[in-house]
């Protein structure tokens, strides 16, 4: 009898310890998404739209924390240093994730080592534009003019990804278009309209009102596909530029070491959120395209584009800052 009691107590104690070590089911408290950009930015609005959709099925609030600064590096670094427990995520962009290793001497993080991808959230199509009254009406005319008068044409660059795209054009076309750096796209747009720039790359969303108002004209899409918002604008690949593909991305990352089962759970909810009609409509108003992925596909994208951007920067002789 005593042996049976001791055996029962041992089993109960073992089960209790196992339950204690397992801890509460994920998630058991609020989740935060760090947005490395200002409130009201495209990244911020995108993160809030996704957070509102994944919170209810997860059973916890999903809180947005804006940490702008250093072109996204401050927020990315804060996320990389967070506990890998699934309670801190970051909304990354191509410029804040894959560009720094190509342009910085000592980036604050390595996207391939310090993060675990969850899912893409959106694609932000890029295009090349000129002012409406510019004599340049196509990429071929831009290239021809650049070759007739070497060193005289410049372009506005308000993001590292924009500079890499234009340097890829220089490399393939044999031109020497010069980068003029800006803190943001609004300043580049102002100088483009004022005639101080020949062309400028930009995201479709912010530049679309300028195109519709007749102040600017699109020359080409910089990504691999045409935009649904500008279906008549050809891609650089269609114009003969091999493997030319520069698209902005937004996606969710977790700190490296986050348990796989948590990544799987978050991926499932994000994919459902991004696929909803409501989120797609919200994104379309921003000029971006809803786009989800598996963690593995997002991991491959980061590895591929990081390596590609490093090669472009090295060939262009861009001095790292």
Kindly state whether residues 271 and 306 are assigned to the same domain.
yes
Kindly state whether residues 304 and 293 are assigned to the same domain.
yes
List Cβ neighbours of 50 (8 Å cut-off, separation of 6 or more): 33, 121, 252, 270, 273, 274, 279
Do the domain assignments include residue 203? yes
- Tens digit of pLDDT for each residue in 216-266? 999 999 999 999 889 999 999 999 999 999 999 999 999 999 999 999 999
Number of domains within the chain? 2
Complete DSSP assignment for 69-94: -GGGHHHHHHHHTS-SSSSEEEEEEH
Kindly state whether residues 120 and 253 are assigned to the same domain.
yes
What is the pLDDT confidence band of residue 22, given thresholds at 50, 70 and 90?
low
Average pLDDT for the chain: 90
Do the domain assignments include residue 197? yes
Res. 17: pLDDT tops 70: no
Residue numbers of the domain that contains 283: 31-124+248-316
Do the domain assignments include residue 24? no
Res. 3: pLDDT tops 60: no
Q: Which residues of 91-111 are buried (b: 16+ CB within 10 A; e: fewer)?
A: bbbbbbbbbbbbbeeebebeb
pTM, two decimals, is 0.84
Kindly state whether residues 119 and 190 are assigned to the same domain.
no
* Residue closest to 209 by CA, chosen among 194, 224, 189, 228: 189
Do the domain assignments include residue 8? no
35 and 47 Cβ atoms separated by less than 8 Å? yes
């Amino acid at each position: 009898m005593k042996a049976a009691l001791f055996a029962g107590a041992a089993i109960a104690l073992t089960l209790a310890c196992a339950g204690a070590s397992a801890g509460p089911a994920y998630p058991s408290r609020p989740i935060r998404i760090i947005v490395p950009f200002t409130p009201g930015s495209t990244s911020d609005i995108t993160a809030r739209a996704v957070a509102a959709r994944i919170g209810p099925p997860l059973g916890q609030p999903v809180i947005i924390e804006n940490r702008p600064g250093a072109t996204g590096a401050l927020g990315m670094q804060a996320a990389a240093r967070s506990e890998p427990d699934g309670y801190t995520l970051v909304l990354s962009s191509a410029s804040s994730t894959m560009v720094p290793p190509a342009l910085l001497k000592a980036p604050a993080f390595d996207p391939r080592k310090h993060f675990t991808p969850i899912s893409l959230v959106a694609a932000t199509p890029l295009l090349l534009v000129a002012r409406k009254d510019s004599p340049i009406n196509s990429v071929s005319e831009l290239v021809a003019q650049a070759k007739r008068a070497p060193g005289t044409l410049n372009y506005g660059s308000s993001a590292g990804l924009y500079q890499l795209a234009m340097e890829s054009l220089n490399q393939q076309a044999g031109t020497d278009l010069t980068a003029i750096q800006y803190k943001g796209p609004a300043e580049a747009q102002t100088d483009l309209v004022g005639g101080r720039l020949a062309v400028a790359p930009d995201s479709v969303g912010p530049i679309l009102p300028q195109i519709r108002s007749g102040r600017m004209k699109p020359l080409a899409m910089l990504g691999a596909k045409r935009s649904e918002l500008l279906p008549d604008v050809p891609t650089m690949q269609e114009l003969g530029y091999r493997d030319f593909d520069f698209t902005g991305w937004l996606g969710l990352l977790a700190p490296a070491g986050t348990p796989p089962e948590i990544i799987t759970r978050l991926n499932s909810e994000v994919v459902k959120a991004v696929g909803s009609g409501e989120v797609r409509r919200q994104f379309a108003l921003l000029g971006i395209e809803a786009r989800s992925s598996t963690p593995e596909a997002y991991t491959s994208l980061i590895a591929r584009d990081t390596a590609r951007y490093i090669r472009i920067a090295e060939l262009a002789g861009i001095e790292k800052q």
